[in-house]
Structure 1
C-alpha cells in the first residue's frame, strides 16, 4: 500500500507490481488524485486486464 511522505502518496515499483488487479486500479486513481486530478474515478468493466481510470488534469486534459 502507498505511503505518505512530505511530497504526498508514493508507491514503489515492487509495491505496484505486487498489487491485485483491483487494488492496482485504486492505486492509479489515488496517484492521479494526488497529482491534481480531483475528479479521478475508476470506471470500466471487469476482466479486460486494463486499468480504467478517468480524470481531468490541472490543464483541463481528460485522461
Structure 2
C-alpha cells in the first residue's frame, strides 16, 4: 500500500454521504402506492418527477 493513501470505512448504509439517496426518496414519494395502466403512463410520470426534483447543492455535503 502507498503511504499517501488513507482508507476510511463507511457505514453499510449512509444516505447522508450519498446525495443520490435524496433523489430516490423524492421519486419514491411520487411513485409509491400508485397503479399505472400502461408503461407510457409510468414513463411520463417518471419523466415529470425527474424534471421536478429539488436537489440540494452538492457542496452542502462536503
Tell me which protein shows more helix as a share of its residues: 2
TM-score, normalised to structure 2's length? 0.31
TM-score, normalised to structure 1's length? 0.31
Tell me which protein shows more strand as a share of its residues: 1
The higher relative CO (CA closer than 8 Å, separation ≥ 6) is in: 2
Larger radius of gyration: 2
